[in-house]
Structures are given as C-alpha cells and as structure tokens.
Amino acid sequence: MSQQSNLQREPLLDSLRRELEGLDRDDLLWRIRTLQSPSAPHARVDGKNVLVLCSNNYLGLANHPKLKQAAITATRKYGAGSGSVRVIAGTMDIHLKLEKILAEYRRAEASITFQSGYATNAGTILALVDERDLIISDELNHGSIIDGCRMTKAERRVYKHKDISDLEKQLQNTDRFRRILIITDGVFSMDGDIAPLKDIVDLAMKYQAITYVDDAHGDGVLGENGRGITNHFHLEGKVDVDMGTFSKAFGCVGGYVVGSKDLCTYLQNKVRSYLLSGSQPPGVPGACIAAIQLLKKNPSLVKKLWDNTRYFKKALKELGFDTGQSETPITPVMVGESGKAHKLADEMFRLGVFVLPIVFPMVGKDKARIRTIVTSAHTKKDLDQAADAFQKAGKKLSLI
Ligand SMILES: Cc1ncc(COP(=O)(O)O)c(C=O)c1O
C-alpha cells in the first residue's frame, strides 16, 4: 500500500509569486509595452506617440498596402483559417504557391513552410538527429535552436562564438556518430554579427558534417535583394538546411526551410510541428507571397536599410556608445547591468523613442544592452531624433 508522506509542498501560486518577485528584484521582469497602431517607425505605444527603434520590421513591410491587400484577398478567397494541419486537410494551393515562389527566390530546389520560425527550428532539429548523432552549436545561438537541440537525444557540444578552431576541436573524436549537425545563427540576434559561414561549410565538408543555418535576421537583409546569408557568401546550395522566418524583414509570420527536394519531403513526413499543429491561416501565405514579390522587384528597399544602418551606427559611435561587434542593422548599445538597461530604455521612452532592454537570460548577466534596429522605413530625420535622445539619456545616466 502506498504511504502518504508529511511533506508540505509549496502551493503553486505561492511559488510562482516568489519567483516573480525575485525576477522583479533583479530587474529581469518583462515590462511589455502595447502598440495601439501598426508596426511602423512612428507608432502609438502605451498611449504615447513614439519613434520605434526595436521592431524586426526591417523593410517596413508589416504595414505595407500590398501585403495588407494580399492578406485580405487571400482571406476573402479561402477564409480566416485553414481548417487542419498541413498533412490532413490544411494544405491549400496558396501554401504551395508560397513554397514554390520562395524556393525560386532563394534559388533552391524546394522549400517547406511552418507556422513560425520557432516551430521550424524546434521541429526540424528534432527530425534530423537522434541518439546516434552529434549536434555542434555556436554558444550564442538563438533560444529556438537551443530548445530544438534540447528536445533531441543527440549528444551536444557547444563551440565558442564564431570560433572556427574551437569548432574544429569539437569535431574531433566523432567517428562513432551517424550524423554530425553543425548549427549556427546566420546573423546573431542579440549582437548583430555574422557567422563565418564559408569556413563552417568548409569544415563541415572536411568532417562530413551537415550544416544548418538560421537566417532569421539575414532574410531580406543580406545578399542580393535580401536573398540571405547563403547568397551573401555565394554558398547557395552548399548549406544543407537553410532556415528562415517571415516574421522579421518579410513583415508577416511563419518559418521555413529551403533546400533539396528530398530534404523538404523528409521534413513534411517527420517534423512534429508540421504534422501536429494547424497550418497557417491563408492570409499569411498570401501576404508572404506579396512580400517576396516586392523584394524581387525593389532592390532599393534593402539598399535604404543599409544606408540607414551605416548612418545610425556612425552616430552612436560618435556619441561614444559601445555598440559591440555588430555588422548589420541590429545595433546593441552595451550597458552591462540589467537595471541600467531598463533605466536607459525608460528614459528613451520618456524622450519619445521606443527601444528594448535586452537582459538575462537572453544575454549574459553582465551583458545587458539596448538592442536598436533601424529599418528602411526610417528617415534620416528619425535617426537624428533617435541619436539625439540617446545622447540626452546617455548623459543623464552617465553612460557617455
Ligand atoms: C535567430 C532567430 N531564430 C528564430 C526565431 C524565431 O522566429 P519566429 O519569430 O518566426 O518564431 C527568431 C525570432 O526571435 C530569431 O531571432
């Protein structure tokens, strides 16, 4: 017969409250702001008109008339929902049209789309490796990659950020593994630096490893007409799993993999987030198609993004801020302690600029920062206004 112990377990809500109080004390609690208008450089946030410098809407497409119209047209034609998961009755011709157009745009044989970038990473990594395999992952990879890796039974090794010689060290003593998966962010989401993908691909070839790049922040940003990191490094067709998202530069939502036809067919049959979760509402592939068509026709969108990026980075550096190692439109303003990052973000908001404090666990405990992201929709006047606010707030908080 089982025995009842005298143990008193802490009631759930008491323990959750205690944890939340701890997070609050350490300045690690999310204070979520609310947009009351579209995602655009000038938006209404928490009842105040502000300049937005923290969205991932790199090309200003989230509120673009062509995307809105495409979403409305697809919704009128197909309805609000898809009715099912992709493999049962949730594949509509508009999902297939997006996959065809995406593969052509990315010059790949095929593509497969998912509900989000998170669902793509979590599901795809799990589908590719098991206890017979090894994953080697950059230490600063995105949380969705980390979660995907944790779900598998594969052995895991982590290499120092972008350190090719450490990666090669991790590739030693690997004869017993069936597969070795080297996985990296393309553009690192908190720092804005770019993975040395060419060197990674070369090493992978030497050790017969598989390469997987998460190009969430390179999509629409790097390469010709925003074709991403593989185009940027002339590696199209050389990376086994080329993953991206529609939630950033494409202005919509959803994730994808482009690659060989066999890989995509395999993923259709094996990725649990594809098999077990409802497919995208038809308005989403409708808007994503419009985004790709716009990108193909308008190189000026990406060019303006880079002009703005260079202009704003220079302004921040001239003011004396530490902007880390960024090479892309993600520009961190390093402050160190999480409390300081919150104070700087609050002061910026008071001055009319919406920026985001990034604190532990998204970055190391002493590496809190403000992450700024300029977009092609910002004007030089907007960027001057933002730099001016950074100067005032930075001086007030003795950061410069
Ligand atoms: C590097 C990286 N990968 C994946 C994701 C997840 O993408 P999604 O927002 O489409 O789920 C993000 C988004 O935060 C990201 O920054």
Average pLDDT over residues 162-170: 98
Measure 198 CA to ligand 1 centroid, in angstroms.
22
Residue 328 carries which DSSP code?
A: S
d(CA 225, CA 218): 11
Q: Using the predicted structure, report yes or no on whether residue 124 has a pLDDT greater than 90.
A: yes
Average pLDDT over residues 79-93: 97
Ligand 1: list residues with CB < 6 Å. Answer: 116-118, 121, 142, 144, 185, 189, 214, 216-217, 245, 247, 255
Express each pLDDT in 266-289 by its tens digit: 999 999 999 999 999 999 999 999
Average pLDDT over residues 364-384: 95
Q: What is the largest CA-CA distance in the chain?
A: 76
d(CA 63, CA 67): 7
Rounded to two decimals, what is the model's pTM? Answer: 0.95
Residue 225 carries which DSSP code?
A: G
Measure 144 CA to ligand 1 centroid, in angstroms.
7
Residue to probe by mutation, ligand 1, list 140, 247, 256, most atoms within 8 Å of CB: 247
User: Strand 210-214 relative to strand 241-245: parallel, antiparallel, unpaired?
Assistant: parallel
Annotated active-site residue 144? The verdict is: no
Place of tokens 């509120």: 63
Residue to probe by mutation, ligand 1, list 141, 144, 277, 328, most atoms within 8 Å of CB: 144
Express each pLDDT in 300-325 by its tens digit: 999 999 999 999 999 999 999 999 99
Q: Using the predicted structure, report yes or no on whether residue 32 has a pLDDT greater than 70.
A: yes
Express each pLDDT in 8-21 by its tens digit: 999 999 999 999 99
Residue 247 Cα: closest atom of ligand 1: 10
Length of the chain: 400
Annotated active-site residue 68? The verdict is: no
Mean pLDDT value across the chain: 96
d(CA 107, CA 148): 26
Q: At 271, which helix (H) or strand (E)?
A: none
Residue 250, phi then psi, degrees to nearest 5: -75, -10
Annotated active-site residue 189? The verdict is: yes
Choose among 213, 279, 215: nearest CA to 250.
215
Q: Using the predicted structure, report yes or no on whether residue 4 has a pLDDT greater than 80.
A: no
Measure 114 CA to ligand 1 centroid, in angstroms.
12
Residue 186 Cα: closest atom of ligand 1: 1
| pLDDT over 70 percentage in the chain | 99
Helices and strands in the chain, H and E counts: 14, 13
Distance of CA 321 to the CA centre of its chain: 24
Choose among 30, 27, 53: nearest CA to 40.
53
b/e code 366-397 from CB counts within 10 Å (16+ = b): ebbbbbbbbbbbbeeebbebbbebbbebbeee
Q: At 311, which helix (H) or strand (E)?
A: helix 299-319
Tell me the domains of the chain and their CATH numbers: 31-58+299-396 (3.90.1150.10), 65-297 (3.40.640.10)
